[in-house]
Structure 1
Amino acid sequence: MRDFALPLPLIRAVLGPVYRVSLHARLPWRAQRALIDIGSVLQPVPPGVAVNRMELGGRPAERLAPRSAGAGEPAAVLYLHGGGYAVGSLTTHRSLCGRLAAATGLPVYSIDYRLAPEHPFPAALDDAEAAFLELVTEHGYRPDRIAVSGDSAGGGLSLALAQRLIARHGYTPAALGLIAPWVDPNQAPERLRDLVVNGPWSRACALAYLGDGDPHDPGYAPLHGVLEGLPPVYVQADVDELLHPQCVDLTDALRAAGVTVEFTETRGLWHVAQLQAALVGPAAVALTEMAVFLRQAIDELPLRDLG
């Protein structure tokens, strides 16, 4: 699944300045979005994965699927991209979603949910809910044959979506795959920055997404929502990133609620390094681990709490 194997110090040396410039609290949101879209050009979709544009839940979307998908009962992954709820797009996460499709052997649906500050909470959550429901009502998937996955803000959105689906519709997804999930935007990071994210930018994103909403609403901060009854959850983070403490808190809370959890930690990578899986071997390995977890959960194979 890797196209290149570049040294980690080289990748870090390139990415640090790129993220410092593109994810800056004083830079207009439109400029941030354009810059990270441009930076995604070097992250290719793997061979053998077809990308089809569509609409899902009333939003632009893409279906990324292996051309040699296996037979059997339909199953899928709904992917919710990261970007602090204010940036990120189908473009930025196309490579990641394509590799997830290849590794799971399943179609991955990626949606372009509405972004803050133009569309504050709960717009993104409403869009994610509409997309999941349309997969069930219009595309023939059973709710328990759809895994929900996302990174950073998209990871928090995935958790909030699962909570809403269970509470409102009685639908429990097959599994959750959360890459460095941002599950409580109210929490200030303990350090100023990591390679990708910095504190002022993170706070600007949190305020933009909240708008006039209630910061204690579990849809906004799903770490404090109902965790009991959730499906198996995969959580991944690097030990040096700002969101690592939140991932530890989430994992502890999930286990206390009786949820099956697999928590994997990397060392020497960075926040959502899976975006660069085409270039970074350890990031590709981490993405494959999540794909295996999701596929096992969808196929109802036994899962152990490994962590």
Structure 2
Amino acid sequence: MANTSAWTRQPGFFVYTTYTIAKAVVKLPSLMLLYTIAQFRPVREWTHKQAFVVALTRFFFEYSTTVEFSPAQTLDPGQEKDRFVTIDPFVEPAQEGEGQQQATIPIYTGIATPQPNGIRPTKIGAVWHPAPPSTKDGVSSLATAGRVFLHFHGGAYVVFDCRDREMAVGASLLLSAATAGNKNATAAVLCPQYRLASHHHLHAQNSNGGGGHFPAALQDAITSYAHLIHRLGVPGSKIIISGDSAGGNLALALLRYLEDEKATHGLPLPRGVMLWSPWTDLSVTAAELEKRKEDKSDLVPPVMVKWALRVFLPEALSTTTTSANQEVAKEGVAENPYISPVKKAIVTDVPVWVQFGGREVLREDIVRWVEVQKQGGGKVKAYEIPVAPHDVFMAAEGLGLKEEVGEAAGDGVRFLDE
């Protein structure tokens, strides 16, 4: 397991927490007063509320990621009740056990093969919006639905999850965009609870999944996609893979996997992909991000990226192909296109729509990915919200940008329908 910061354990935790409280007492009221004057806001076009919410969010992220606070994931339904479901992995006949479904074809292969460090497919949770699908005569209601979004949440692979507190607003905007102008249209959103790298030791101890390093999240993404296809009977042509921030990175990894290994896993391709502020280059360090001008107007602090890179990247990466076994040392892992999609275009006919903020620190990496993908022959549409910081999909309500994000979602759906 990667070494943790001294601030994550006593007495460091107490010292840093005390320092942060004292800092908050002085800094936050000062910013609230300062931002009443537009010229002192990070972005003059922002309202007072937007400027303060970005500052407050960044302040919280700086603290929580410095002490590496990330609530444990659970498979308990919680307040989502019957909308929360568990999804079993697909296993080979020799591995089949209680609660698992036999796979007649190898669903997890190539980059997603079980790793020497024990990372392998495991049971995950997920939340449905607006309601779980019904079944009649053995046929899922989703088989005839208009669109099914498979959305992966953001959080740098270290924080957040699929629950309503993070995903309810974004999911509602996707549903509204998918059914706009057609009262008979139907749509659903499935938000998987993929494994977080910050919980690597918990997954390793308490589950059969072996941990949360890469490719754990990709294995879980494959599980959720195959679940829609094989268990719920959803045609690939009705599925839109979606993701915000790290979830956008995961969405691209899943699309690449579906293309690269299609001769083996047999899964159909989706209708399209929607990306919201995707993390496209994990080879860019926290120190490099801190030097960008957008760092001053974004809500993602470099310390969050530093933590994520330390725990998400495995010490080594094994891939199993039909021709060879390969192992890549950690120094080269971030260069792998499954981890940093900007390194190599995905050869695909699946259209990809991508949104980014004009004031977010990942903007140049996203623009560079768009160029790489287009040069590789991909069908891509970029959509910029000029005044937006990172990941307005998740922060739409807090930043007062629901209307802008809703319009963006509508544009994305229309593009994928072309």
TM-score norm. by structure 2 comes to 0.60
- In 2, Cα distance between equivalents of 1:12 and 1:279: 11
Query: SS of the residue aligned with 1:121?
Result: coil
Matches of 1:226 and 1:151, distance apart in 2: 19
Q: 87, 92, 100: which is aligned to 2:174?
A: 100
CA distance in 2, matches of 1:17, 1:133: 39
Distance 2:249 2:400 in 1: 26
Question: Counterpart of 1:274?
Answer: 393
**Alignment gaps of 5+ in structure 1:** 1-6, 35-44, 303-307
Query: How much has 1:86 moved relative to structure 2?
Result: 0.6
1:111 CA drift (Å): 0.7
1:275-290 correspondence to structure 2 within 5 Å: 275-278=394-397, 280=399, 282-290=401-409
Pick from 202, 227, 231 the counterpart of residue 305 of structure 2: 202
The answer to whether the Cα contact below 8 Å between 2:279 and 2:362 also exists between their aligned partners in 1 is yes
Does 2:279 correspond to 1:182? yes
- Cα shift at 1:293: 2.3
Q: Give the conservation status (yes or no) of the 8 Å contact 1:8–1:280.
A: no
Cα deviation code 1:36-73 (max 9, x no counterpart): xxxxxxxxx9xxxx981112353110110379x99955
User: Partners of 2:142 and 2:223 in 1: how far apart?
Assistant: 27
Equivalent residue in structure 2 for 1:115, among 188, 196, 203: 196
Using the TM superposition, give the Cα deviation of residue 129 of structure 1 relative to its aligned residue in structure 2, in angstroms.
0.8
For the residues of structure 1 that align with 2:354 and 2:215, how far apart are their CA atoms? 23
Where do residues 8-87 of structure 1 align in structure 2 (5 Å cutoff)? 8-24=47-63, 25-30=65-70, 52-57=83-88, 58-65=123-130, 72=144, 75-87=147-159
The 10-residue stretch of structure 1 (84-93 or 273-282) with the greater mean CA deviation from structure 2? 273-282
1:89 is aligned to: 161
Unaligned runs of 5+ in 2: 1-45, 74-79, 89-122, 133-140, 180-186, 201-211, 317-332
Quick one: which amino acid aligns to residue 56 of structure 1? I
Larger Rg: 2
Matches within 5 A, 1:122-137: 122-137=215-230
Shift of 1:263: 0.7
Which residue of structure 2 aligns with residue 305 of structure 1? none
Structure 1 stretch 195-204 or stretch 231-240: which is displaced more?
195-204
Residue by residue over 1:66-85, the C-alpha shift from the partner in whole angstroms, topping out at 9 and shown as x without a partner, is 79x99955530100001000
Q: 1:236 touches 1:263 (CA, 8 Å); kept in 2?
A: yes
Shift of 1:103: 2.3
Aligned residues: 278
Distance across 1 between alignment mates of 2:381 and 2:270 = 16
Listed one character per residue, the Cα deviations across residues 128-155 of structure 1 (whole Å, up to 9, x for unaligned) are 0110011000011112221111111111
What amino acid is aligned across from residue 162 of structure 2 in structure 1? L
More divergent stretch after superposition (172-181 vs 205-214)? 205-214
Deviation string, structure 1 residues 129-188 (Cα, Å, up to 9, x no partner): 110011000011112221111111111110011000122235321111111100111113
Between structures 1 and 2, the one with greater helix share: 2
Structure 1 counterpart of 2:101? none
| 2:320 maps to 1:239 | no
TM-score w.r.t. structure 1 length? 0.81
Partner residue in 2 for 1:262: 381
* Residues in 2 aligned to 1:128 and 1:179: alpha-carbon distance in whole angstroms: 17
Q: Does structure 2 retain, via aligned residues, the 8 Å contact 1:278–1:284?
A: no
Show the counterpart of 2:76.
none
In the superposition, relative to structure 1, how do residues 283 and 187 fare at CA in structure 2: closer, same or farther (>3 Å)?
A: farther
Q: Is the 8 A contact 2:50 2:400 kept in 1?
A: no
Deviates more, 1:162-171 or 1:19-28: 19-28
Aligned CA RMSD, in angstroms, stands at: 2.9
Distance 1:229 1:100 in 2: 24
Partner of 1:140, secondary structure, is coil
